[in-house]
Amino acid sequence: METQDIKGFKFSMDCKPDYGIVTVEIPSGKKLKVEAAAMATMDTNIEMKSKLKGGFSRFLSGESLFINEFTAKNGNGSIQIAPACPGDVEHIYLDNQMIYLQNTAFLASDDNIYVETKFQGFTKGFFSGESFFLIQCSGTGDLWFNSFGGIIEIEVDKGYVIDTGHIVAFTDGLEYEISRIGGYKSLFFSGEGLVCKFSGKGKVWIQTRKITPFLNWINPFRPTKNN
Protein backbone atom coordinates (compact mmCIF):
# COMPACT_ATOMS: atom_id res chain seq x y z
CA MET A 1 0.00 0.00 0.00
CA GLU A 2 1.57 3.25 -1.10
CA THR A 3 0.46 6.36 0.67
CA GLN A 4 1.79 9.81 0.03
CA ASP A 5 0.87 12.52 2.39
CA ILE A 6 2.14 15.80 1.06
CA LYS A 7 1.72 17.38 4.48
CA GLY A 8 4.17 15.06 6.21
CA PHE A 9 6.84 12.50 5.46
CA LYS A 10 6.78 10.26 2.41
CA PHE A 11 5.95 6.81 3.69
CA SER A 12 4.40 3.43 2.89
CA MET A 13 2.70 0.81 5.02
CA ASP A 14 3.15 -2.77 3.81
CA CYS A 15 2.00 -6.29 4.75
CA LYS A 16 -1.14 -5.01 6.47
CA PRO A 17 -3.07 -6.06 8.52
CA ASP A 18 -1.26 -9.16 9.79
CA TYR A 19 2.39 -8.11 9.67
CA GLY A 20 2.31 -4.35 9.18
CA ILE A 21 5.59 -2.54 8.62
CA VAL A 22 6.21 1.17 7.93
CA THR A 23 8.83 2.63 5.61
CA VAL A 24 9.49 6.35 6.06
CA GLU A 25 11.66 8.56 3.94
CA ILE A 26 13.34 11.13 6.13
CA PRO A 27 14.31 14.31 4.25
CA SER A 28 17.84 15.52 4.78
CA GLY A 29 18.27 17.11 8.18
CA LYS A 30 14.85 16.00 9.43
CA LYS A 31 14.28 13.94 12.55
CA LEU A 32 11.91 11.03 13.26
CA LYS A 33 10.91 9.65 16.65
CA VAL A 34 10.79 5.86 16.73
CA GLU A 35 9.93 3.47 19.51
CA ALA A 36 13.08 1.78 20.80
CA ALA A 37 13.89 -1.55 19.13
CA ALA A 38 11.39 -0.95 16.32
CA MET A 39 13.96 -0.02 13.67
CA ALA A 40 14.35 -2.94 11.27
CA THR A 41 16.49 -1.55 8.47
CA MET A 42 17.82 1.90 7.50
CA ASP A 43 20.15 3.75 5.18
CA THR A 44 23.69 4.33 6.40
CA ASN A 45 23.31 8.11 6.40
CA ILE A 46 20.71 7.95 9.16
CA GLU A 47 22.01 8.68 12.62
CA MET A 48 20.38 7.29 15.73
CA LYS A 49 20.29 8.99 19.09
CA SER A 50 18.75 7.49 22.24
CA LYS A 51 16.62 9.84 24.25
CA LEU A 52 15.54 9.33 27.79
CA LYS A 53 12.63 11.75 27.66
CA GLY A 54 9.51 11.44 29.74
CA GLY A 55 11.06 10.93 33.11
CA PHE A 56 10.04 8.57 35.84
CA SER A 57 6.49 7.88 34.73
CA ARG A 58 7.87 5.87 31.83
CA PHE A 59 9.23 3.30 34.24
CA LEU A 60 5.94 3.18 36.06
CA SER A 61 3.99 2.44 32.92
CA GLY A 62 5.63 -0.97 32.95
CA GLU A 63 6.55 -0.63 29.33
CA SER A 64 9.58 0.71 27.59
CA LEU A 65 8.37 3.81 25.83
CA PHE A 66 11.92 4.61 25.06
CA ILE A 67 12.12 6.73 22.01
CA ASN A 68 15.07 6.88 19.70
CA GLU A 69 15.60 9.75 17.30
CA PHE A 70 16.66 9.10 13.74
CA THR A 71 18.13 11.97 11.70
CA ALA A 72 18.97 11.87 8.01
CA LYS A 73 22.38 13.41 7.37
CA ASN A 74 23.74 14.63 4.01
CA GLY A 75 20.70 13.67 1.96
CA ASN A 76 17.44 11.82 2.35
CA GLY A 77 17.36 8.45 4.05
CA SER A 78 14.82 5.69 4.34
CA ILE A 79 14.03 3.67 7.46
CA GLN A 80 11.83 0.63 7.98
CA ILE A 81 10.00 0.38 11.25
CA ALA A 82 8.55 -2.94 12.45
CA PRO A 83 6.40 -3.25 15.58
CA ALA A 84 7.03 -5.92 18.21
CA CYS A 85 3.69 -7.72 17.82
CA PRO A 86 2.34 -9.37 14.70
CA GLY A 87 -0.40 -6.97 13.82
CA ASP A 88 -1.48 -3.86 12.05
CA VAL A 89 0.00 -0.39 11.62
CA GLU A 90 -1.99 2.79 11.14
CA HIS A 91 -1.13 6.37 10.33
CA ILE A 92 -2.69 9.70 11.24
CA TYR A 93 -1.58 13.21 10.46
CA LEU A 94 -2.16 15.39 13.49
CA ASP A 95 -3.00 18.97 12.63
CA ASN A 96 -2.53 20.66 15.96
CA GLN A 97 -4.59 17.83 17.44
CA MET A 98 -4.27 15.38 20.26
CA ILE A 99 -4.67 11.61 20.31
CA TYR A 100 -4.36 9.01 23.05
CA LEU A 101 -2.63 5.68 22.49
CA GLN A 102 -2.75 2.52 24.55
CA ASN A 103 0.63 2.19 26.25
CA THR A 104 2.25 -0.19 23.75
CA ALA A 105 0.75 1.35 20.62
CA PHE A 106 3.26 4.12 19.84
CA LEU A 107 5.41 3.29 16.83
CA ALA A 108 6.86 6.46 15.34
CA SER A 109 6.17 10.14 14.84
CA ASP A 110 7.40 13.40 13.43
CA ASP A 111 9.86 15.08 15.77
CA ASN A 112 7.34 17.91 16.27
CA ILE A 113 4.83 15.56 17.91
CA TYR A 114 4.95 15.83 21.65
CA VAL A 115 4.81 12.33 23.14
CA GLU A 116 4.01 11.96 26.80
CA THR A 117 2.95 9.19 29.18
CA LYS A 118 -0.18 10.16 31.07
CA PHE A 119 -1.44 8.63 34.27
CA GLN A 120 -5.19 8.19 34.02
CA GLY A 121 -5.91 7.91 37.71
CA PHE A 122 -6.95 4.75 39.47
CA THR A 123 -10.65 5.22 38.94
CA LYS A 124 -10.38 5.93 35.24
CA GLY A 125 -7.45 3.65 34.56
CA PHE A 126 -7.97 0.70 32.30
CA PHE A 127 -8.58 -2.20 34.63
CA SER A 128 -8.52 -5.87 33.70
CA GLY A 129 -4.78 -6.08 33.40
CA GLU A 130 -4.40 -3.09 31.17
CA SER A 131 -2.19 -0.21 32.05
CA PHE A 132 -3.11 2.82 34.08
CA PHE A 133 -1.14 4.84 31.59
CA LEU A 134 -1.90 6.19 28.19
CA ILE A 135 0.41 7.81 25.69
CA GLN A 136 -0.65 11.29 24.76
CA CYS A 137 0.51 12.55 21.38
CA SER A 138 -0.07 16.16 20.37
CA GLY A 139 1.11 18.73 17.90
CA THR A 140 1.38 18.82 14.12
CA GLY A 141 2.90 16.04 12.06
CA ASP A 142 2.78 12.33 11.23
CA LEU A 143 2.08 9.64 13.80
CA TRP A 144 2.20 5.87 13.31
CA PHE A 145 0.81 3.40 15.78
CA ASN A 146 0.55 -0.38 15.93
CA SER A 147 -1.61 -3.13 17.39
CA PHE A 148 -1.87 -6.85 18.17
CA GLY A 149 -4.15 -8.10 15.39
CA GLY A 150 -5.81 -5.88 12.83
CA ILE A 151 -6.96 -2.31 13.39
CA ILE A 152 -10.54 -1.20 12.81
CA GLU A 153 -11.52 2.45 12.89
CA ILE A 154 -14.82 3.29 14.57
CA GLU A 155 -16.58 6.62 14.29
CA VAL A 156 -18.12 7.43 17.63
CA ASP A 157 -21.24 9.48 17.35
CA LYS A 158 -23.84 8.09 19.71
CA GLY A 159 -21.32 6.45 21.98
CA TYR A 160 -19.58 3.05 21.83
CA VAL A 161 -18.77 0.24 24.23
CA ILE A 162 -15.29 -1.25 23.84
CA ASP A 163 -13.51 -4.01 25.71
CA THR A 164 -10.61 -2.27 27.48
CA GLY A 165 -8.00 -4.67 26.06
CA HIS A 166 -9.04 -3.94 22.49
CA ILE A 167 -8.49 -0.17 22.55
CA VAL A 168 -5.56 0.99 20.45
CA ALA A 169 -6.15 4.72 20.20
CA PHE A 170 -8.81 7.39 20.52
CA THR A 171 -9.10 11.06 19.68
CA ASP A 172 -9.03 13.79 22.27
CA GLY A 173 -12.45 15.13 23.19
CA LEU A 174 -14.08 11.74 23.67
CA GLU A 175 -15.31 11.14 27.17
CA TYR A 176 -14.88 7.67 28.59
CA GLU A 177 -15.71 5.73 31.70
CA ILE A 178 -14.96 2.21 32.82
CA SER A 179 -17.99 0.14 33.68
CA ARG A 180 -19.33 -3.39 33.61
CA ILE A 181 -21.88 -4.71 31.18
CA GLY A 182 -24.68 -7.14 31.93
CA GLY A 183 -25.51 -8.31 35.43
CA TYR A 184 -23.17 -9.41 38.20
CA LYS A 185 -23.01 -12.87 36.68
CA SER A 186 -21.63 -11.25 33.56
CA LEU A 187 -18.90 -9.54 35.55
CA PHE A 188 -17.35 -12.89 36.42
CA PHE A 189 -18.36 -15.24 33.64
CA SER A 190 -18.99 -13.17 30.54
CA GLY A 191 -15.26 -12.96 29.86
CA GLU A 192 -15.85 -9.32 29.08
CA GLY A 193 -15.18 -8.02 32.56
CA LEU A 194 -14.93 -4.30 32.33
CA VAL A 195 -15.55 -2.24 29.29
CA CYS A 196 -14.81 1.31 28.32
CA LYS A 197 -17.86 3.40 27.47
CA PHE A 198 -17.02 6.19 25.10
CA SER A 199 -19.28 9.16 24.55
CA GLY A 200 -19.07 12.35 22.55
CA LYS A 201 -17.85 12.66 18.99
CA GLY A 202 -14.58 11.29 17.73
CA LYS A 203 -12.72 8.23 16.53
CA VAL A 204 -11.60 5.08 18.28
CA TRP A 205 -9.22 2.52 16.78
CA ILE A 206 -9.68 -1.02 18.01
CA GLN A 207 -7.55 -4.15 17.58
CA THR A 208 -9.01 -7.51 16.59
CA ARG A 209 -6.80 -9.51 18.98
CA LYS A 210 -5.96 -9.03 22.63
CA ILE A 211 -2.81 -9.97 24.54
CA THR A 212 -4.34 -11.26 27.80
CA PRO A 213 -6.47 -14.12 26.37
CA PHE A 214 -3.43 -15.23 24.38
CA LEU A 215 -1.37 -15.35 27.61
CA ASN A 216 -4.17 -17.24 29.36
CA TRP A 217 -4.21 -19.73 26.53
CA ILE A 218 -0.45 -20.34 26.64
CA ASN A 219 -0.34 -20.68 30.43
CA PRO A 220 -1.34 -24.40 30.65
CA PHE A 221 1.49 -25.24 28.23
CA ARG A 222 4.13 -23.88 30.60
CA PRO A 223 6.16 -26.54 32.39
CA THR A 224 5.35 -27.14 36.06
CA LYS A 225 8.02 -26.50 38.65
CA ASN A 226 9.39 -29.65 40.26
CA ASN A 227 10.60 -28.96 43.75
Q: How far is the CB of 113 from other proteins (least distance, A)?
A: 26
Q: Which residues contact 135 (CB under 8 A, 6 or more apart)?
A: 65, 100, 101, 102, 103, 105, 106, 115, 116, 117, 118
The answer to whether residue 83 forms part of the interface with other proteins (CB under 8 A) is no
Cα–Cα–Cα angle for 151, 162, 94, rounded to 5 degrees: 50
Q: How far is CA 149 from CA 22, 35, 60, 128, 161, in A?
A: 16, 19, 26, 19, 19
- Choose which of 55, 62, 75, 159 interacts with other proteins (CB under 8 A): 159
- Choose which of 51, 64, 186, 201 interacts with other proteins (CB under 8 A): 186
Q: How far is the CB of 104 from other proteins (least distance, A)?
A: 17
**Is residue 214 classed as helix, strand or coil in its secondary structure?**
helix
The answer to whether residue 219 forms part of the interface with other proteins (CB under 8 A) is yes
- Choose which of 77, 83, 141, 149 interacts with other proteins (CB under 8 A): 149
- Interacting residues toward other proteins by CB under 8 A: 17-18, 86-88, 149-150, 152, 154, 158-163, 166, 181-183, 185-186, 189-192, 197, 199, 204, 206-210, 213-214, 217-225
